[in-house]
Structure 1
Amino acid sequence: MAQAPKKTRISTKRGTPFTNQTAVFDLPDVPTNEITNLSNSKPAIATSLAHGLSTSDAIWLESETNSAINGYYLVSVNTEDSFAVIGLNGEDLGTITDAKFTKLIRYPFCDATSIKLSPIKTTEKDVTTNCDEDPVTEVQKESGTISMSGLWMPDKKVQDFLEEMAEATETIFLTVKPKKSKTLRGYQGKITSFDQDGKSGDLWQFSMELKIVGRQRKLDTTSGVI
């Protein structure tokens, strides 16, 4: 009896290679740029004459009258005089007349050999009282974390910057984009530890932990849409 032909399964490679475009950002000591209008939309659209930004740039946004908007953001450029502030929901902002932005200094960070992103963390807490017939739990959201390790390079500018920010407990901004991904992710966080480790005959290593502050920023770099 003739045998049925064997079925051939075409193998497809899954997953994304660990190759990233990673950068950390510094807030320069320069005059900020005025924003004449922030729209009540999601995301908010900023009007700023000849802003000089490009899509995927990172900025620091601030206002004295509404400090709730203060923070780091990615931008998607609409015109030479306007841009979308990715991560800023302007629907309930009202009118802000004193908003300003500063373009951040970008440091490419190619020294990491491993990155663990944990932007979402939740815990369940038992809040059952003696009046409840059934168990009652509350879900509480915790700050996310970022863990990185890699090669430590003494006197390298970007690593000196990270050490300084860790020592000063200052908030920094960093972005991660896997090579084959169109999505750029930005995180605002505080460095909680920065360690170097070495042994004779081997390369110096570093490890760094960050506590994420606020929500991550997500930008589609091909369309400029979140």
Structure 2
Amino acid sequence: MAKTQGQPAIKKSAKRGMSFNSRTYFYDLPETPTKVISDLTNTKPAIATSVGHGLKTGDAVWVESIENDAINGYYLVSVSNEDSFALMTLDGEDIGTVTDAKFTTVKRYSFCDATSVKIAAIKTKAIDATTICDEGAVTELEKEPGTISLSGLWVPDKEVQDFLEEMAEELETIFFTLKPKGSKYMRGYQVKITSLDWDGKSGDKWQFSIELQINGRSRKLDMTTGAK
């Protein structure tokens, strides 16, 4: 059917983005690591050798070393075989030789209570770096810790909430992961809880808000192939 002259064209709407639906977890503080890493390669990412490790791709582990405490922290793993796995974002080119590394798996809490998540993974601020020898103003960028904000519905006495309250009081570093539905990537962040608030009204549902400060580099894992 021909379009009548002067008749406005019909535009098709295009829906962008994707609905907010994610698998979200918090991870508990580890016990003393007992599983030995016999070798840690100087590659990016570093490959750990641990015979019969029992891990699967997407697991979170805590790694610890006395020789080089710079590697201490939470990592997502990409499993190569039953005796080796990659520690995502650990740059083995910078760590030198580490012979005493150990790891442990950590307790995972599912967290489906959030109705909104805001992640400011990278934040910078401008600082005045002008010296007396500069003819004009000199500005440099300085990196600041990123932040994560969560808000949603709060159901009292859930185990994960007891854990979050305890970690907030003790100012401990914990681990948070997020995998949006439809995304192949799982992202992990070492965080500290900077605020945890409840808000309720009579006859209404409890609301909560949690503010997290990101501690160190984020972890990123391709769940379909393993990050390279």
- Establish whether TM, by shorter chain, passes 0.5: yes
* Residues 27 and 102, structure 1, Cα contact 8 Å, conserved in 2: no
| 2:56 matched residue in structure 1 | 54
**Secondary structure class of the residue paired with 2:70:** helix
| 2:99 matched residue in structure 1 | 97
| 2:31 matched residue in structure 1 | 29
User: Structure 1 segments of 4 or more deviating over 6 A?
Assistant: 4-8
1:87 to 80, 86, 89: 89
* 1:114-147 Cα deviation digits (max 9, x unpaired): 1110010001111212321121011100000111
Q: Using the alignment, how far apart are the partners of 2:18 and 2:181 within structure 1?
A: 8
* 1:155-192 Cα deviation digits (max 9, x unpaired): 10011100000011100101011111111100001001
Structure 1: gaps of 5 or more residues: none
| 1:130 matched residue in structure 2 | 132
Structure 2: gaps of 5 or more residues: none
Shift of the alpha carbon at 1:11?
Answer: 4.0
- Which one is further off, 135-144 or 19-28? 19-28
- Which one is further off, 183-192 or 10-19? 10-19
- Which one is further off, 175-184 or 11-20? 11-20
Amino acid of the structure 1 residue aligned with 2:197: D
* 1:193-221 Cα deviation digits (max 9, x unpaired): 11111110100111111110001001111
| TM-score normalised according to structure 1 size | 0.94
Change (3 A) 1:2 1:47: closer
Amino acid of the structure 2 residue aligned with 1:85: L
Amino acid of the structure 2 residue aligned with 1:94: G
**Secondary structure class of the residue paired with 1:160:** helix
* Residues 198 and 209, structure 2, Cα contact 8 Å, conserved in 1: yes
Aligned pairs, number = 226
| 2:202 matched residue in structure 1 | 200
Change (3 A) 1:73 1:2: closer
| TM-score normalised according to structure 2 size | 0.94
Shift of the alpha carbon at 1:6?
Answer: 8.3
**Secondary structure class of the residue paired with 1:222:** coil
| 2:45 matched residue in structure 1 | 43
| 1:180 matched residue in structure 2 | 182
Shift of the alpha carbon at 1:13?
Answer: 2.3
Change (3 A) 1:7 1:56: same
**Secondary structure class of the residue paired with 2:77:** strand
Q: Using the alignment, how far apart are the partners of 1:56 and 1:151 within structure 2?
A: 27
In angstroms, what is the RMSD of aligned CA positions? 1.9
* Residues 33 and 63, structure 2, Cα contact 8 Å, conserved in 1: no
Amino acid of the structure 2 residue aligned with 1:62: E
| 2:193 matched residue in structure 1 | 191
